[in-house]
Amino acid sequence: MVEVAPPSTRHRLVGQPLLYAISVFASLGVFLFGYDQGVMSGIITGPYFKQFFNSPGPIEVGTMVAVLELGALATSIAAGRVGDIIGRKGTLFIGALIFTIGGAIQTFTTGFYVMIVGRVISGCGVGLLSTIVPIYQSEISPPNHRGALACMEFTGNVFGYATSVWTDYFCSFIDSDLSWRIPLFMQCVIGGILTAGCLVMPESPRWLIDTDQDAAGMRVIVDLHGGDPNDVLARAEYQEIKDKVIYERELGEGRSYAVMWRKYKRRVLLAMSSQAFAQLNGINVISYYAPSVFEEAGWLGRDALLMTGINAIIYVLSTLPPWYLVDRWGRRFILLSGAVIMGIALGFTGWWMYIDVPATPRAVVACVIVFNAAFGYSWGPIPWLYPPEIMPLTFRSKGVSISTATNWAFNFIVGETTPYLQEVITWRLYPMHGFYCACSFILVYFLYPETKGVPLEEMDAVFGEEERLDYESERASLMSNTQFDRTSTRSSSRPNTVTERGWVSRVLYRNDRSTYQPIGEGEE
């Protein structure tokens, strides 16, 4: 066992305070791209913005909004390689720095093409942040709190969106170009804070151990467990991670994208599909163009911005229940129930716009609020949690980069086409996305295994891809789980995560042992 230097005499955070401090600070990364996704929705309808850009048409507006996704798409693919080479912490720093530079270019833009350049550069930062933050979060989180911490992170994303909406609203009272330049400048302020903070955040212990920096990795694990270098739980967790790293190396198959695809095709496709449907289910029709949606429904001018702000508050509040529910109800139930509610809300949104009666404006606001709340509770947080959970350590960075790139690819498609579709197919746009909600329900029901409470090093058992780890590793993981659950008794076992599968899944994966059963306290 690697030895760790005794703790320093200076005061530092350890244990759960350290874990939550890391989670809160890492959430600034997702706050940034939440803010960036929402900030354009309010300024594109402002009179000074329209005047400065010579009344841009739907294609120009769609390009200014959605071109960010092209930058994010490019760097989210590269983030898989970058995250493995320079680590999670270094990737966070570079992403925050690039985002800040892009925000400055947008703020001081001199015209359409400079704005496009600024949006692309910010998108490059967003791509790195949106890929590496979920990986970093999953790798420092204990199994039975991993879902809750990831959902807290998503709340940071939505809080960023809500902040941008209300910033747009209050700045709309300014009678000059500052009405849209100030909201854009806020990106620089937040990005600068994250850039500075990255210098003091600890590195992911799993990445450190994977790159043979065992002492440093053990030090981070010890800090997360309370600071005692002789803590048996910290040492057990270190040994389990180290054993998994050695096992993967002994396979000698390399770490290329081709090897990942050949060996973990199912996991990669599930990770990609979760992010694709998060976009196809319609969220960015609302996030990017909420004021336009409300104007289409009958709200005009600043009233449309106000309705967007109210909707954003409900959206933030809807992300709070998963903090408690995701590690109790599991990922599958939350995704399934969210898809049903979202599909119904989108169907009614289109129907109220179709009949176009005096009650339509208020009814559309209500439907959009229900839709956003359902998304914030389900398809918002889970697709950011699921991919880093199901990918193994050796391919986690690359697998999550592919799933995140899928997010930004579909994000771009939705962002670019929505203004055009709002004019061409009008109310039919919303039932169309409701249909995608139905498709996502079917996909999750038949093909998504449950992952709640499963340690990252034991995810192979969920997918039936190899025999479970030996009894000592299982027991170490069980002890590590209970370390972070002070309210449960020491004799309790991890949650049962057996997945009930439909007939399609049984046919497709006949030899799949994806019924993960944690070892009980008395088993040998």
Two structure tokens written together for 208: 């450190």
Say yes or no to pLDDT of 147 above 80: yes
Positive/negative CA dihedral, 334, 407, 37, 49: negative
pLDDT, residue 467, reads: 45
Taking alpha carbons only, the member of 276, 44, 291, 19 closest to residue 146 is 19
What are the tokens at 414? 């939705």
pLDDT band at 483 (very low <50, low <70, confident <90, very high): very low
CA quadruple 112, 304, 308, 406: dihedral positive or negative? Answer: negative
**Residue 202 · residue 139 · CB < 8 Å:** no
DSSP secondary structure code for residue 165 in this structure = H
For residues 222 and 214, give the distance between their C-alpha atoms in angstroms, rounded to a whole number.
12
Per the listing, tokens 């439907």 go with 367
- Asked if residue 516 has pLDDT above 50, the reply is no
List, as one string, the DSSP characters of 178-189: HHHHHHHHHHHH
| Structure-block tokens of residue 185 | 């400048």
Q: Is the pLDDT of residue 273 over 90?
A: yes
- pLDDT at 52 exceeding the cut of 80: yes
pLDDT computed for residue 107 by the predictor: 94
Q: What is the band of 477 on the pLDDT scale with cuts at 50, 70, 90?
A: very low
Distance CA 171, CA 476 (A): 54
Structure tokens at 499: 């997945």
Among the listed residues 377, 383, 505, the one whose alpha carbon sits nearest the alpha carbon of residue 447:
505
Q: Are 422 and 327 in contact (CB under 8 A)?
A: no
- Residue 494 confidence class, pLDDT cut points 50, 70, 90: very low
What does the angle CA 378 – CA 456 – CA 523 come to, to the nearest 5 degrees?
110
Q: Which residues of 125-139 are buried (b: 16+ CB within 10 A; e: fewer)?
A: bbbbbbbbbbbbbbb
Q: What is the pLDDT of residues 315-370, one digit of tens each?
A: 899 999 998 898 889 999 999 999 999 999 999 999 988 888 888 888 888 888 89
Q: 13-201: which CATH topology?
A: Growth Hormone; Chain: A; (1.20.1250)
CB atoms within 10 A of CB 524: 6
pLDDT (0 to 100) of residue 226: 83
Q: 80 vs 83, 104, 257, 401, 403, CA distance in Å?
A: 5, 26, 10, 5, 10
Top-level class of domain 258-474: mainly alpha
Residue-level pLDDT at 6: 52
pLDDT of residue 305 exceeding 90: no
Q: Tens digit of pLDDT for each residue in 401-418?
A: 899 889 888 988 887 788
pLDDT digits (tens, 9 = 90+) for 204-249: 998 999 999 999 999 999 998 888 888 888 898 899 889 988 887 8
pTM of the full structure: 0.73
Looking from the CA of 418 toward its CB, the CA atoms found within 13 Å total 31
pLDDT digits (tens, 9 = 90+) for 112-146: 999 999 999 999 998 898 888 888 888 888 777 77
**What are the boundaries of each domain within the chain?**
13-201, 258-474
Alpha carbons within 13 A on the beta-carbon side of 223:
25
Domain 13-201 matches domain 258-474 at the CATH topology level: yes
Instruction: Give the pLDDT of residue 356.
Output: 84
> Distance (Å, rounded) from C-alpha 144 to C-alpha 494?
8
CA dihedral over 145, 150, 151, 153, signed as positive or negative: positive
The pLDDT value recorded for residue 327 is: 87
Q: What average pLDDT does this structure show over 253-266?
A: 85
